[in-house]
Structure 1
């Protein structure tokens, strides 16, 4: 079932979200200082393309540096990625078939705002 949901997701929303995260990651990798944000963006890009069957959990070892990094992330790229999730979720909710995918999109907004200190794991 996860495979079917992932394929539908990728066609309707995942490809655009993937592109947005990859562009943000490339922009972040231009400067050496922001490479950790770029790597986090690439990690979340793959998750945004194929989210079903996986989940985001907080790393227990993340601390104040992750919080400060997330504050910088929101300023640099997180806000427009969150808007992309919001806009895509609203469009998906306009159809009955898209409502579950729209809700899944809304659940990705916190990850788009704070990717540092998070880990993507398979649901088990």
Structure 2
């Protein structure tokens, strides 16, 4: 089912927003200082091309360790990103979601666009994994949190 959803998505609109992500990624790479944002753009472009069955997850949530993109510099990077490109990509995904939502059959595609709109606001510090891997990481983090709470009482 994921394959069919991704194929229909790609052919009927996913390619447009994926190319928009690539465009902003190329602009970021041209500026040299924007290379970290460019890397995030190309990761998110792949997600935008084929979003079904995948999910964006914070890298620190996945690896249980912070890195440069998940700390304070990542927050600063996301603020800069939002001002420069994130706002425009989010608007593109929201308008695409509205266009898909108008047709009843396009509602699942609309939901994917809304998911991508949320990610386009702050992509630094996130990575794309399958839904199963994201669920497993969240379960492991929840088990660790429960163990910590039990040891504190």
TM over 0.5, yes or no?
Answer: yes
Which has the larger Rg? 2
Matched, 1:72 2:76: no
Shift of 1:7: 0.6
Q: Deviations over 1:4-62 (max 9, x none)?
A: 00011111221011110000001111111111101100110000000111111112111
Taking structure 2 as the reference length, the TM-score comes to: 0.79
- Post-superposition shift, 1:123? 2.3
CA–CA separation in structure 1 for the residues paired with 2:112 and 2:41? 18
Q: How far apart are residue 109 of structure 1 and its match? A: 1.2
SS at match of 1:97: helix
Which one has the bigger helix percentage? 2
Match of residue 110 from structure 2: 102
Aligned to 1:81: 89
The Cα RMSD (Å) is 0.8
Choose which of 74, 77, 91 in structure 1 pairs with 2:99.
Answer: 91
Report 1 or 2 for greater relative contact order, CA contacts < 8 Å, sequence distance ≥ 6: 1
After superposing the two structures, state which structure 1 stretch, 55-64 or 83-92, moved more: 55-64
Q: TM-score of the superposition, structure 1-length normalised?
A: 0.96
Secondary structure of residue in 2 paired with 1:108: helix
CA–CA separation in structure 1 for the residues paired with 2:72 and 2:13: 33
- Number of residues of Structure 1 aligned to a counterpart in Structure 2: 124
